[in-house]
Amino acid sequence: MSTIELKQATKKYGDFVAARDVDLSVKKGEVVCLLGPSGCGKTTTLRMIAGLERITSGEVIVAGQRMNDLPPEKRDIAMVFQFYALYPALTVGENIAMPLHYEKISATEMKARVDKVAEILHLGAVLNRLPGQVSEGEKQRVAVARAIVRDPNCFLFDEPLSRLDVELRHSMRGQIKQVLANLSKATVIVTHDQLEALTMADRIAIMKDGIIEQVGTPHEVFAKPANVFVGSFIGTPQMNLVEAKLSKFEKGKASINFNGQDIEITTNELVGKLNSPKITIGIRPRAFTAEGNASTENIQAVAELIEPMGAETLVHARTKGGNDIRVVVPREKRVKVGEALHLRPDPAQTHVFGEDGKAVRL
């Protein structure tokens, strides 16, 4: 049974809390990405699962077994390290075979398994080379091969693609996803690259300062960010977050003072029940419609900087109140610098966050 469960897992280094009360469960065959900026505790969490860090409090349960006190070698976990951690003095083949020695299998069987994995990852040609003599992409595949050559309880990946160039990264994402799909194990991937997380994960756990902010499917975390941080962290270009004041809520429409400009936005009932009028409005750059005339339902802004992105164009605009907002418009719509824009936010993609930063959502 391949599952991972963390219950209130906490790691402290003296006074510093690297991970606080982390709750996470990964089902068999599920891929969970730990996503967050550097220093957020995602690697610590991964290492707690692996047994490379002792857990300060809470529980680590792998395959239904409490693992808190077990050293890594007894947890039966496969892991791919950030810098691959290939054994520099061993050939690629020997590197891949390294985890198999524990199983005390015959040399022929070992070779067969190494060859099979090498074939899956296209490493057949370099099996006899030293790690120092192969390319970066091959090294990465060797690291993956060394992990999947076993039949472990689960897989852990620490920033597996961070050292590859963009193109390689793209193709490796696909390959790894495919391999993992076939293996059907509980898998945790640590990454700071949201694209990686969004494409590879079944679910994403977003961490900040040692705390999991939100766990959800890629769609959930994008469409329904739990708080300001998740909203800002997921999605490119970044979500526009503007501090505003709720002046009135009537019939599902909120009147908001948008830094000097009042606009009305259709939103949910809970917004009306907020205790504090201080809110943050989050609107994704693609959720604007440019309108011909100014109205109370659109935001007045002046285009300041135009960045063509190919199919679309990113416009940096400045509102009357002095806020910078990012707007993505179709390529056909030629916006000029200095042009006045009347931007109407899509109510379905407009997120209201309360004073505590949490999303106000039904």
Partner 1 sequence: MTSTTAQTIPTTFTTVAPDNWKLAIVVGLVVSLLACLILPPNISFWIVGAMVAMVAMTFVVNAYHRHYYGGLLVSPAIAVLVVMNIFPLLWSLGLSFFAYQSNQQTIRFVGLANYVKILTDDLKAPENWANLTNTAMFVVLTVTAQMIVGFLLALMFAKQFPLRKYLLILVLTPMMLSVVAVGVFFSNYYDPTFGLLSYFIRLFTGEQFILMDNKAGAVAGIVFADAWMWSPFVMLLVLAGLVSVPKYLYEAAAIDRVSGWRRFWSITFPYIRGLLMLALLFRTIEAFKMADLVILLTKGGNGTMTISYHLIRIANEQNKTSEGAAISYVMLFIVIVLTNLYLYIANRRTEGA
Partner 2 sequence: MGEATSIWEKLGFRKASGVSEAGWGQTLFAGIISLIYFLPVLLIIITSFKLQTEALSIPPKFMPTNLFGLIPDAYVFSPTLENYTSVFSRAMTSGGAAENTGFDRYFFNSIMIASVSVLLALVIGTLAAFGFSRYPLKGNDTYLFVILTTRMLPAIVVIIPVILMFRVTGLSGSYLGIIMLYTAFNLPFTIWMMKSFFDELSLDVEDAARLDGSSGLKVFFKICLPQVLAGLAATFVFGLILTWNEFLFALLLTGIDTRTVPVAMSQAVAGGGIGVLWGLLAAIETLFLIPVFFVTFFLQDHLLRGVTFGTVKR
Residues that bind partner 2 (CB under 8 A): 13, 52-54, 66, 68-71, 88-89, 131-132
Report which of 249, 218, 247 is spatially closest to residue 234, judged by C-alpha positions. Answer: 218
Instruction: Output 18 or 117, the one with its CB closest to partner 2.
Output: 18
Instruction: Give the shortest CB-79-to-partner 1 separation in angstroms.
Output: 5
Helix (H) or strand (E) holding 290: strand 288-291
Which residue shows structure tokens 């285009």?
A: 303
| Phi/psi at 62 (5° precision) | -120, 130
- 124: amino acid identity, one letter: G
Instruction: Give the shortest CB-143-to-partner 1 separation in angstroms.
Output: 9
> Which option in partner 1, partner 2, none does residue 79 bind, with CB closer than 5 to 8 A by kind?
partner 1
Which residue shows structure tokens 């936005």?
A: 265
Instruction: Output 55 or 176, the one with its CB closest to partner 2.
Output: 55
Which residue shows structure tokens 């050292």?
A: 163
Rounded Cα distance between 30 and 201, Å, is: 8
Instruction: Give the shortest CB-52-to-partner 2 separation in angstroms.
Output: 8
Instruction: Give the shortest CB-167-to-partner 2 separation in angstroms.
Output: 21
Instruction: Output 133 or 135, the one with its CB closest to partner 1.
Output: 133
Rounded Cα distance between 282 and 149, Å, is: 45
Report which of 55, 42, 13, 69 is spatially closest to residue 207, judged by C-alpha positions. Answer: 42
Instruction: Give the shortest CB-22-to-partner 2 separation in angstroms.
Output: 17
Report which of 295, 283, 294, 337 is spatially closest to residue 313, judged by C-alpha positions. Answer: 337
> Which option in partner 1, partner 2, none does residue 98 bind, with CB closer than 5 to 8 A by kind?
partner 1
> Which option in partner 2, partner 1, none does residue 132 bind, with CB closer than 5 to 8 A by kind?
partner 2
> Which option in partner 2, partner 1, none does residue 68 bind, with CB closer than 5 to 8 A by kind?
partner 2
Instruction: Give the shortest CB-147-to-partner 1 separation in angstroms.
Output: 8
Instruction: Give the shortest CB-2-to-partner 2 separation in angstroms.
Output: 20
Locate all alpha helices (DSSP H) within 187-277, ordered by sequence. 194-200, 218-223, 228-233
Report which of 7, 1, 44 is spatially closest to residue 25, judged by C-alpha positions. Answer: 7
> Which option in partner 1, partner 2, none does residue 54 bind, with CB closer than 5 to 8 A by kind?
partner 2
Q: In sequence order, which residues have a C-beta less than 8 Å from that of residue 5 and are 6 or more positions away?
A: 24, 25, 26, 59, 60, 61, 62
Residues in the site for partner 1, rule: CB under 8 A?
Answer: 50-52, 71-73, 76-79, 81, 83, 85, 87-90, 94, 98-99, 101-102, 130, 146
Instruction: Output 73 or 167, the one with its CB closest to partner 1.
Output: 73
Instruction: Output 134 or 201, the one with its CB closest to partner 2.
Output: 134
> Which option in partner 2, partner 1, none does residue 53 bind, with CB closer than 5 to 8 A by kind?
partner 2
CB 313 within 8 A of CB 331: yes
